[in-house]
Chain A
Amino acid sequence: MAGNAWRSTILKLLERYGAWITGQRKPEEVSRVMGAVKSQTQPRTFSRGMQTVTIIPGDGIGPEISSAVIKIFEAAKVPIQWEERNVTAIKGPGGKWMIPPEAKESMDKSKIGLKGPLKTPIAAGHPSMNLLLRKTFDLYANVRPCVSIEGYKTPYTDVDLVTIRENTEGEYSGIEHVIVDGVVQSIKLITEDASRRIAEYAFEYARNNQRASVTAVHKANIMRMSDGLFLRKCREVAENFKDVKFTEMYLDTVCLNMVQDPTKFDVLVMPNLYGDILSDLCAGLIGGLGVTPSGNIGANGVAIFESVHGTAPDIAGKDMANPTALLLSAVMMLRHMGLHGHAKKIETACFDTIRDKKVWSRAVQYTALKKNPVSESVTLILLFIGICLSKFNVV
């Protein structure tokens, strides 16, 4: 009874703001946008039907958007129980930097994680937190599906591609030396195993998600041995996946063609640095990091889904942050776990919210232009929850 009262209050609030249109609205068939990272889901141990997921809120706007996602999941009655952990770099025995042992334990047990943005210091002290997490759980593949969001206008329409980036080695190996004063050498590491692993993942992803082609992005004309090795491994793996078309393209050609006609691309697989640049480029095409989901797949069945935007310390705590990226990553996570029904509900609700210009324009205004009319901003998360609620109760 109390639940119904709460629901009608929310709906009245939404009506007042014009965000809710009374009457039946058929949830539109959303394309398999945030495709399942794996099609076969392993049976997981459930305790009383609830699955544990480790949530790492992060820094800056991290805590608020994480709580928004938790609230939305509660409203959607998703069978997940959250275990909140914090990660800060601590020096372990032997002087090596590592993440706190409680965080590692929780992750190893639950195997699934959702992460908010973490701070990265520039040119100082300990290595980046994101890098540490990757090393700890051997998160070798970063998957970022970039699909144009209906209702969110960008100069690029009909973008539908996936960037798969090798996440552990390459230019980000972190190995640098000062040879003599004024000469610095950074080492880019490419190994056979890692290249084969990422190529296999990319082709499997393409096959499981009915994608037509995989393109390897490289600069083998200049970095003959390293990118040459990467290419060779991709070619070898392609032999085992004859149903997926394999092409190779130079990094500069990909960049050039991507900004002219992004519809030419399907699945892209590449080493670390190129992946970093290209995945952010593609995120920019669909509207920025605030709406882009991302998943990291690890070697031992561990998968961490994250929002890839920054910590935005200037709007932290002001209730202005846009939770879409973390929410869509959470939807990706649900699909990975096999909870497709819930995933679809939340995703539809999210896109409907975005399509509803009134709510969305304010959200975008706040995040993009950083305006702060406090009185209106308070309703943002409520609106999200409200719309989700209404969706879940509509037959």
Chain B
Amino acid sequence: MCELNIWGGVGGAELRGKRSVSPPPAKYGGRHTVTLIPGDGIGPELLNHVRELFRFCCVPVDFEVVTVDSSVVSEDEINNAVTAIRRNGVALKGNIETNHNLPPSHKSRNNLLRTSLDLYANVMHCQTLPGVQTRHKDIDIIIIRENTEGEYSSLEHENVPGVVESLKIITRVNSLRIAEYAFKLAREKGRRRVTAVHKANIMKLGDGLFLQCCKEVAAGYPDIAFDNMIVDNTTMQLVSKPQQFDVMVMPNLYGNVVSNVCAGLVGGPGLVPGANYGKNYAVFETATRNTGKSIANKNVANPTATLLASCLMLDHLGLVDYASMIRKAIFKTLSETRLHTADIGGLATTSEVVQSIMREVQKTGPLTSEYI
């Protein structure tokens, strides 16, 4: 099967002077093809809303749906998904549930996807959204989390019965890579400071190496201030004074904790989109990666995070106008119309919110496919 690469071969990315991610090759007749992995829980219904919205706004994106059944033991389905993403270059996904009562040979499907595609940077932009009531105001933090190694290496063994060892791997190459990514992103977005989060006072070699790599990279960016903070102090500062943070970079597990804390601070898991970037591929999903089993198919889930993730995807594809149009409509619904779902204190259903967003788009945007 031959891939039609419109951007002129492997050197496409370098020619266009882009950062680390090359534009996706799957573009036929002006329409992009994106892999869609519905996942479990609220994933399928929210991603259906995304498709509905895209159809309504006439966004030139086609979805190739690949289902991954979390209960199946074989890894064929996730491998198919990986192949599809390699083909299309970009994916939008819901979270795939991991049953942690199954034996260790059954690995987390989400983790497999990330490591197979080498999506080394997980980027999450937490900002206080207009119209959402929170305890803290004026939060604007970008969290960059190493996505492939650290505590998520899934290397465990039981040498002596009753004693389990789990390995946390930190490598110089990956630490340099993520630090480089963080500083480049900070410079691009005009950010002033990067904070490395670690626990090097206890894990002297592992986190010590990570911190060392961050310091080395920081030396090459004199215009950006660099400091570091221990992870427990970080969480404490986040709940008392989150406004002090700008850009944060950290290994995998601390990234998990810090990103969930920040998501909670700005209003919850239903509001924040996340992106996973690799050298050649990009996968977009909600930042906190929840399946939301308890609210699945009840029409109460908050579609904001998934819709904003799809906007990030449109930005990545270069369809910036569509992205800003949809984003503006979402923010208007949140702040002016104040149509909120239950998780942020309102009474609206998911479909009501999506309808409202479509109405906003119709009011301000180009001709749409139907009239609401």
B172 touches A182 (CB 8 A): yes
- Among the 9-residue stretches A85-93, A105-113, A277-285, A328-336, the one with 4 or more Cβ atoms under 8 Å from chain B is A277-285
- Among the 9-residue stretches A55-63, A247-255, A346-354, the one with 4 or more Cβ atoms under 8 Å from chain B is A247-255
Decide yes or no: A187 and B232 within 8 Å by CB, A223-B151, A226-B156 being known contacts.
no
Please report B residues at the A interface, Cβ cutoff 8 Å: 98, 100-104, 106, 108, 111, 135-136, 151-152, 154, 156-158, 162-173, 199-206, 208-209, 211, 231-233, 235-240, 253-254, 256-257, 259-261, 263-265, 268-269, 288-290
A187 touches B200 (CB 8 A): no
Query: Is A121 in the interface zone, CB < 8 Å from B?
Result: yes
Give A310's nearest chain B residue, CB to CB.
B233
Give B204's nearest chain A residue, CB to CB.
A123
Decide yes or no: A252 and B257 within 8 Å by CB, A128-B202, A186-B170, A222-B111 being known contacts.
yes
Query: Is A1 in the interface zone, CB < 8 Å from B?
Result: no
B98 touches A221 (CB 8 A): yes
- Among the 9-residue stretches A64-72, A206-214, A256-264, A379-387, the one with 4 or more Cβ atoms under 8 Å from chain B is A256-264
Task: Kindly provide the distance from the CB of A227 to the nearest chain B CB, expressed in whole angstroms.
Answer: 8
Given contacts A190-B164, A259-B265, 10 further A-B contacts (CB under 8 A): A121-B201, A123-B201, A128-B202, A176-B204, A186-B170, A187-B168, A257-B264, A280-B235, A281-B236, A285-B239
Interface size on A (CB < 8 Å)? Answer: 63
Q: Which 8 A-B pairs have the closest CB atoms?
A: A182-B172, A284-B236, A259-B264, A280-B232, A192-B162, A220-B100, A155-B135, A225-B156
A120 touches B260 (CB 8 A): no
A225 touches B232 (CB 8 A): no
Give A292's nearest chain B residue, CB to CB.
B236
How far is it, in angstroms, between the C-alpha of A390 and the C-alpha of B167 when the chains are bound? Answer: 56
Q: A184 is contacted by which of B102, B206, B233 (Cβ under 8 Å)?
A: B206
Give A289's nearest chain B residue, CB to CB.
B236
How far is it, in angstroms, between the C-alpha of A251 and the C-alpha of B253 when the chains are bound? Answer: 10
How far is it, in angstroms, between the C-alpha of A333 and the C-alpha of B26 when the chains are bound? Answer: 66
- 7 example contacts (A-B, Cβ-Cβ < 8 A) are as follows A122-B200, A174-B202, A224-B102, A229-B164, A231-B100, A251-B256, A259-B261
Decide yes or no: A225 and B158 within 8 Å by CB, A184-B171, A284-B238, A284-B239 being known contacts.
yes
B233 touches A222 (CB 8 A): no
How far is it, in angstroms, between the C-alpha of A189 and the C-alpha of B168 when the chains are bound? Answer: 11
Query: Is A185 in the interface zone, CB < 8 Å from B?
Result: yes
Name the B residues within 8 Å of A155 (CB-CB).
135-136, 239-240
Q: Which of B173, B200, B235, B264 has the most CB of A within 10 A?
A: B235
Decide yes or no: A225 and B203 within 8 Å by CB, A259-B239, A288-B236 being known contacts.
no
How far is it, in angstroms, between the C-alpha of A284 and the C-alpha of B238 when the chains are bound? Answer: 8
How far is it, in angstroms, between the C-alpha of A190 and the C-alpha of B168 when the chains are bound? Answer: 13
A222 touches B154 (CB 8 A): yes
B203 touches A182 (CB 8 A): no
Mask, A224-240, CB within 8 Å of B = 1, is 11111101000000000
Name the A residues within 8 Å of B111 (CB-CB).
222
Q: Which of A123, A187, A278 has the most CB of B within 10 A?
A: A123
Mask, A354-393, CB within 8 Å of B = 1, is 0000000000000000000000000000000000000000
